[in-house]
Amino acid sequence: MTELVQWLPAVNASLNGLATLLLLSGYVAIKRRQIGVHQTLMLSAFATSILFLGCYLTYHWALHSLTGEAGKKFPGVGFIRPVYFTILITHVILAAAVPVLALMTIYRAWKQNWVGHKRIAVITFPIWVYVSITGVVIYAMLYHWPVAGP
């Protein structure tokens, strides 16, 4: 289980990165009126995000089981600390909205309510992209970026 805790953060970041690429590709596809491609890409982004959620919850369960800690603490000091927490807080708040928004968007497409689908998609898309990108940024700040001093 120790190995799981070590490699799942990278898997989670990779899934967030993949979701970002799928979302952006889906956006390009709909702008080109490639509806079937758009549907496939957006449903793939949704599946990727669901897989991410499963891996994320598994990571935090395993981490807590092994260490008693709920998550990795951010070691940064100085200016980078409030930057990190601003990104983290906005990410967490908006991430809670993504599943609801995505399901609403998918449901309206499934029902062929194109006006309603587009109306909610213009809200869902930028939030989902932000959450996916900031997921990668948070991972990089926690695991790979040097800690800035005061």
pLDDT tens-place string over residues 24-73: 999 999 999 999 999 999 999 999 999 999 999 999 999 999 889 888 88
For the residues 95-122, what does the mean pLDDT come to? Answer: 98
Residue 133 has pLDDT above 90, yes or no: yes
**Distance between CA 15 and CA 107 in Å, rounded?**
23
Question: What is each CA distance from 113 to 101, 104, 119, 124, in whole angstroms?
Answer: 15, 11, 10, 16
Name the pLDDT band for 2 (thresholds 50, 70, 90). confident
Measured over the CA atoms of residue 80, residue 81, residue 83 and residue 88, the dihedral's sign is positive
Q: Would you state the structure tokens that stand for residue 17, as one six-digit string?
A: 């990165």
CB atoms within 10 A of CB 16: 22
What are the domain boundaries of the chain? 2-143
What pLDDT does residue 70 have?
82
Number of Cβ within 10 Å of residue 71's Cβ equals 11
| Residue 146 per-residue DSSP state | P
Q: Please give the pLDDT value at position 1.
A: 60
Q: What is the pTM of this model?
A: 0.92
- Tokens coding 76: 């940064």
